[in-house]
Amino acid sequence: MASKVWLAQFDDEETDESIVRKAGEVFEKAGMAGVAQDGKSCAVKTHFGEPGDDSHVPPHFIQPFLDRLKEAGSKPVFVETSTLYKGQRANAVDHFHTAVEHGFGYENTGCPVTFVDGMQGNYHVEVEVGLKHFDTVAVAGDFPLIPSVLVVSHLTGHELGGVGGAIKNVAMGLTSRSGKMRQHDAGKPHVDEGECIACGTCARWCPVSAIEVPDMAQIDFETCIACGECLAVCPVDAIDFEWSENADNFSEQMAEYAYGILQDKESAAGFITFIHHTTQECNCPGKEMDRICPDLGILASYDPVAIDQAAVDLVNESAGKDVFQTMWPNTSYTGQLAHGERIGLGSREYELIRI
Ligand code: SF4
Ligand code: SF4
């Protein structure tokens, strides 16, 4: 059955004031306040941006959603998780500073910020899914405690998934470091001999005692379960991982993670996607990037597959070609959509309602 996707259209000339107004309108037309539950928290999942990037959804575009969620009686709270890679979002404290620097602090939005995978990005609960790639998925530990979620995404290309929209925002953004590694098919860690200062921190944190530190960290690969803890806690960034570049698996694995993460939310999950300053890569590299298409507007839906499908269709229609497949020829963005539909995450069929 076709899912409904609402579109508030705008273009490159749109003022911020107008975009904010249209954000509120599309939220209302799509009935997104339906995710709000009286007196209860509502998670608002977005990307706070890497230092140096200018392409995440800025807080003033999200403010109309926060205001309306409050008016509907819920208590919105920004939720995020630590990144797999090193940088200014790799743990809750650094990530919080980044969020505040980008205007997401309470003093600006009236909305608290919490990191649902703990201080170091290693807190999760296993949720059974029984799917093609995974029997269980690692859901960020505190996320199941929040009864509803509004996922606010910035559409981008992606070097492994082809496209990054609502599915990727959920799959990568609401899991622990271990879950991110599983989706990337990360191999075992390696220690940079020149960097290790033999402090022993990694050995103390390793959950399976796979590390010994005589004069530098040595990892027993038979015992290692590739959880990523050591990468997170090393104070001098001496540990790294090789990530798989199997794009087909990656896309399907993201769909399975999104499915597992949203499993208990049912009709309490809404999705809003901005096709605004859309770039070839996701927001994570932390650099200014060229736009790949004109600004096209804001989409809203209760279906993460339908909203991603509608977003790529709008971009491709505006360009008269398959922009994402052309940009990333070794990926298949349709994999995450097709697998998402197969496993019941949502529908690729949609009815586009222009407001
Ligand atoms: S990845 Fe996890 S299991 Fe492997 S050595 Fe590091 S902390 Fe231990
Ligand atoms: S935490 Fe880092 S520096 Fe310390 S022993 Fe482990 S690898 Fe070496």
For residue 197, which atom of ligand 2 is closest to its CA? 3
CB 81 within 8 A of CB 181: no
pLDDT band at 187 (very low <50, low <70, confident <90, very high): low
Q: Which helix (H) or strand (E) holds 105?
A: none
Dist CA 174 CA 149 (whole Å): 11
Nearest to 111 by CA among 79, 81, 151, 88: 79
- Joined together, the tokens standing for residue 77 give 């709270």
> Which amino acid does the sequence have at 35?
V
Q: What is the pLDDT of residues 46-83, one digit of tens each?
A: 999 988 776 789 999 999 999 999 999 999 999 999 98
**Distance (Å) from CA 204 to ligand 2 centroid:** 10
Q: How far, in Å, are 86, 166, 184, 282 from residue 241 at the CA level?
A: 11, 26, 10, 20
Handedness of CA 321, 287, 47, 19 (dihedral sign): negative
Q: What is the pLDDT of residues 238-293, one digit of tens each?
A: 988 766 666 778 899 999 999 999 999 977 999 999 998 887 766 555 556 677 78
Strand partners, 124: 140
**Of the listed ranges 57-66, 222-231, 303-312, 322-331, the one predicted with least confidence:** 222-231
Other Cβ atoms closer than 10 A to 218: 13
Residues with a CB atom less than 6 Å from ligand 2:
191, 196-202, 213, 217, 234, 236, 238-239
| Structural domains for the chain | 3-183+245-354 (3.40.50.11440), 187-241 (3.30.70.20)
> What spacing in Å lies between the alpha carbon of 53 and ligand 1's midpoint?
31
- Per residue in 153-168, pLDDT (tens digit) is 999 888 778 889 999 9
Ligand 2 atom index nearest CA of 201? 1
Provide the H-helix boundaries in 32-150: 59-71, 92-101, 106-109
CB 257 within 8 A of CB 170: yes
* End-to-end Cα distance, the chain: 22
The bridge status of strand 156-158 relative to strand 162-164 is: antiparallel
Helix or strand or coil: residue 64? helix
Q: Which residues, in sequence order, are bridge partners of residue 180?
A: none
